[in-house]
Amino acid sequence: MASSNSRDITVSTAFLLSLTTSFYVAHNIYSINLISHPIPTLALISLVQTPITILLFSLLRQNPQQCSYWKAVLRGVLGLPIGAFLMAFGAIVLGAPIGIQYLEKTIYWSLLMSVFTEDAFELRCRLETMLLLNSEDGSPISGLTQCSDQIDEGLILFYPANFTRFGEFVPAASVYGSSWKDWQRLFANTKPTGSLEYIICIPAHGAIIGAWLGAWPMPLDWERPWQEWPICVSYGAVAGYTVGMVVSMGFVLVLGKRQRHVKND
């Protein structure tokens, strides 16, 4: 168990180092950042984070006797575009700008968020929240047009808890594959039971909350370049993901100490 905790701490540290390296390379080698060049910066971060995430989490796959390493890698690769599509769809439904000038930004942002945070439960929870939020009797409001009307009223912004029941799509796909029981326990019920699940679940919650907080300045009339889509949302997601990863490492350390005490007793 101690070796398992050390392994998970190593994986978390590798993610933090790779994320730091991405920003370092972007700023010091290519002289770009999310404000001045959002598309190439998001592309660079995704290019670095995606293979590291898939390759490392595939090593931590569930039931390695039944699932080969390369099968887990394939699951992660397939999970990337699925998560990106769900994230892009959810962002547009929640008010992300639509237009050809925003398309490339949305694509690269969605790919990054698919690595950071995303799963099928996100789309379901968001849509359920939007449909039920303003119905008088609690019954679903039919029609996407009515759903959009509810979003326009801005009431969804006051329900951040509904944005945190998400998991990391690519890591979870690599580790759990199509194990519905594990996805439901971890993401629908938010009940991680081990060190690996903490480093999957907590950073995802952090990134979603960070992106949600980062979206707040967008409609304000400050006229700052960082208010453009998806700059502040991306900064918020990265900050939340980083904080979540650090917190998850703390949980892993505490869990390891508690398990050692129980074993000694």
**pLDDT at 264 (0 to 100):** 60
Six-digit token string for 108? 């690269």
157-172 pLDDT, tens digit per residue, is 333 333 333 335 566 6
Residue partners of 220: CB distance under 8 A and separation at least 6 = 227
Domain ranges of the chain: 2-264
User: Rounded to 5, what percent of the chain is helix, strand, coil?
Assistant: 75, 0, 25
Q: Helical H runs in 133-168?
A: 144-152
**pLDDT at 155 (0 to 100):** 30
Residue numbers of the chain with a pLDDT score lower than 50: 118-136, 138-167
Alpha-carbon gap, residue 121 to 139, rounded angstroms: 20
Phi and psi angles of residue 255, each rounded to the nearest 5 degrees, phi first: -65, -40
**pLDDT at 177 (0 to 100):** 59
**pLDDT at 107 (0 to 100):** 94
Q: What stretch of H or E contains 88?
A: helix 69-93
Alpha-carbon gap, residue 167 to 172, rounded angstroms: 7
Residue partners of 79: CB distance under 8 A and separation at least 6 = 114, 169, 170, 172, 173, 174
